Amino acid sequence: MNGPVPVEVLKQHLIDPEICIRCNTCEETCPIDAITHDENNYVVRADTCNGCMACISPCPTGAIDNWRDVLRAEAYAVDDQLTWDELPVQDDALAGQGTIGEASAGAAGGASGASGASADSSEPVIGGSDLVRGSVVPPWSAAKPYVNLYNHKAPVQATVVGNYRVTDASTESDIHHIVLDFGKQPFPVLEGQSIGIIPPGTTADGRAHHARQYSIASPRDGERPGYNNLALTVKRVTKDHQGQAVGGVCSNYLCDLKKGDVVNVMGPFGSTFLMPNHADSHLLMICTGTGAAPMRAMTEYRRRRRMKGATGKLMLFFGARTQGELPYFGPLLNLPKDFIDTNLAFSRTPGSPKRYVQDAMRERAADVAALLRHEHTYIYVCGLKGMEDGVLQVLQTIAGEAGLDWQTLWQRMKTEGRLHLETY
């Protein structure tokens, strides 16, 4: 006698469009290309996702950690997900019955289609996959961050108390230092965290703009010590990646703000790219352009703590096209040499050879190696996506030349929350 046909229920991985700040972290992290996006949403291909969980920890907002139990054959297609403004409600009849693992192709592929990956529907790998290159945990001594105190439905209003350019007026690169004050509203932050800014107005098809993410450039106790304010480092976007003229919606909005203007803010976000609190920890910071924001925050916090006895070393590698395009050039050079070891790399100085941060690191190999040997060294990389490979490559070379086994050290630094990568 035939028994009843089992109904397969999938625990479908979804991204909450209401919380997602479209930072691309999940898509970059996914080892099997199960995540895609359009100008509206980031979505998960049900026929590809194998529930490896690599994307869960790096997501700054937690938007990635959403699941719905659905009939496998009726998994939400990519095309549907791309139109969502909010997640669908869970069907009570299926709740709690789903198992993780990709749905059969065809049920959920949608326009973007399947990637062809054929991962097993294996147990999730909690804590991230080997293909994730940086830490998905914070330093052991990091302070506990607050996250998601405000979302796009209930943002907090901050007042602009400062907005000025931090690149030379003669250069094309218009980078602004913008200070936002939260008054009496709670907005606790840590160095390395980010916030979301919701630009006013709507897109061409009448939807509200989604929030854009910016790293905080000031320390936890305020841009001005003891004040409930923070700073951002924002580059005015005037061209797209192909060099075509475009006006970046949020960056232009922010760079044009005047003192007294009120801004809608979400967040704070981020629970891993945080600095160690123990006073003898060393910071090796590598950045380009506006990737300087978290480095400025950490450096300034250490500078304020130094007076209270922090002893760890700070070494900075900072790349820009020219001296004039390096944000905060003047203040950076005013920091005492015995406090921070600053190394600048300029790629487009007329008459000088092109230099990237990796080249500067190579030149300082002995000192970088000394830091790599130290178990209290924490590495932070922030800026252009392209530099990530180059920086990891030069770290490998420097480690190798110093007799360190980079593969072992890399794994160790990752699991100990000592290698943080944030590139875009």
Q: In the complex, which residues of this chain contact ligand A2P (CB under 6 A)?
A: 173, 288-289, 319-321, 325, 347-348, 356-358, 384, 386-387, 390
Residue 378: count of CB within 10 angstroms of its CB = 28
Burial environment of residue 30 by CB neighbours within 10 A (0 to 12, 13 to 18, 19 or more): buried
CB of 183 to ligand A2P, least distance (A): 33
Structural tokens at position 390: 């180059």
* Helical residues (DSSP H) of 61-190, grouped into ranges: 78-81
Q: Minimal distance in Å, beta carbon 178 to ligand A2P?
A: 18
Quote the least distance from Cβ 319 to ligand A2P, whole Å.
Answer: 4
DSSP symbol at 368: H
Task: Specify the DSSP class assigned to residue 289.
Answer: G
Residues 396 and 17: their CA atoms lie apart, in Å, by: 38
- DSSP assigned state of 316: E
Which residue, 61 or 358, is less far from ligand A2P as judged by CB?
A: 358
Place of tokens 């580059």: 235
In the complex, minimum distance from the CB of residue 137 to ligand A2P, in angstroms, rounded to a whole number: 26
CB of 20 to ligand A2P, least distance (A): 25
What are the structure tokens assigned to 249, written together?
A: 């919606």
383 dihedral zone (left: phi>0; alpha: psi -120 to 50; beta): left
Q: State the CB neighbour count (10 A cutoff) for residue 107.
A: 19
Q: Which is nearer to ligand A2P, 2 or 242 (CB)?
A: 242
| Smaller CB separation from ligand A2P, 150 or 317 | 317
Q: Which is nearer to ligand A2P, 130 or 240 (CB)?
A: 240
As measured in angstroms, the least distance from the Cβ of 380 to ligand A2P is 15
| CB closer to ligand A2P, 110 vs 289 | 289
Cβ-based nearer residue to ligand A2P, 222 or 324: 324
Question: CB of 295: closest distance to ligand A2P in angstroms?
Answer: 14
Nearest distance in Å: CB 284, ligand A2P: 16
The values of phi and psi at residue 208, to 5°, are -65, 145
Q: Which is nearer to ligand A2P, 60 or 289 (CB)?
A: 289
Residues 314 and 340: beta-carbon distance below 8 Å: yes
Contact 230, 216 (CB under 8 A): yes
Minimum Å distance from CB 326 to ligand A2P?
A: 9
Alpha-carbon separation of residue 366 from 10, 123, 373, 393 (angstroms)? 53, 43, 11, 16
Pairing of strands 156-165, 262-269: antiparallel
Cβ closest to ligand A2P, residue 320 vs residue 372: 320
Tokens, residue 272 = 């891993």
The CA distances from residue 255 to 171, 234, 260, 409, in Å, are 16, 7, 14, 41
Nearer to ligand A2P, 23 or 287 (CB): 287
Closer by beta carbon to ligand A2P, 182 or else 328? 328
Cis peptide before 336 (omega within 30 of 0): no
**Contact between 83 and 139 (Cβ < 8 Å):** no
Shortest approach of ligand A2P to residue 317 CB, angstroms? 10
Q: Which two tokens stand for residue 106?
A: 């065809």
- Cα–Cα nearest to 163, from 257, 260, 247: 257
**Cβ(397)–Cβ(119) under 8 Å?**
no
Choice between 12 and 358, CB closer to ligand A2P: 358
With 0-12 CB in 10 A as exposed, 13-18 as middle and 19+ as buried, what is 334?
A: exposed
- Tell me the closest approach of the beta carbon of residue 186 to ligand A2P, in angstroms: 34
Is residue 335 exposed (0-12), middle (13-18) or buried (19+ Cβ within 10 Å)?
A: middle
